[in-house]
Amino acid sequence: MIRQSLNIHSRDRARGFTLIELMVVIAVIAILSTIAVSSYRNYVMRAARTEGRMALLAIQVAEEKYFLQNNQYAQGIATVVAAPPAGLGVNLTAAGVTTGGKYTISFAAASATTYTLQADATGSQTDDTTCLKFTINEQGARTPNDASGCWR
C-alpha cells in the first residue's frame, strides 16, 4: 500500500513542466534568437554593400569605354545616367541613387583625365559604420582598403 501511494505521487508530479523549466527554455530561446537576429542583420548589411560596390565598378568600366570614344572621362552624374553614346547608361536615378536605394553615387573629383567616384551609404545602410563610404578612381585605387573587408 505504501508502494502504491508513492507511485501515485510520482505520477502526479511527472505530468507537466515546472515554472523553472519553462523559464530556462524561454531564456535559451531568447539568447539564441538574439544571436540569430544580430547575425542576420550583419549579413543583410554586408549583402547590401554589394549594391554600392557594383555601381562603382559598373561606372568605372563605362568610364573607360567613354574615355576611349571621347578622349575624356564623364564628369557628372547626368552623363553617367544618360544613354550612350552621349552618356554611360548606368542604371541610377537622376540624383545618383542606386536601384535598391542603399547608396548615393557622386563624383568626389572629376576632370577630363581623372575622376574619383564615391558611394555614400543611405537609409538603414548607415548602421554599417565600417563601410559608410566607398571610393574608386580612374586607376582602380579603392578606399577603404581591403583590410576593412568593405570591398569583399
What average pLDDT does range 23-27 have in this prediction? 94
Say if residue 38's pLDDT is above 90: no
Grid coordinates representing 91 are: 542604371
Nearest residue to 139 via CA among 68, 60, 78: 60
Nearest residue to 115 via CA among 91, 136, 85: 136
Phi, psi (degrees; rounded to nearest 5) at 84: -65, 155
Taking a C-beta distance cutoff of 8 angstroms, is the pair 64, 73 a contact?
A: no
CA torsion sign, 142 to 144 to 145 to 150?
Answer: negative
pLDDT of residue 17: 82
The residue whose grid cell reads 547608361 is: 89
Taking a C-beta distance cutoff of 8 angstroms, is the pair 97, 122 a contact?
A: yes
What average pLDDT does range 51-66 have in this prediction? 92
pLDDT of residue 129: 79
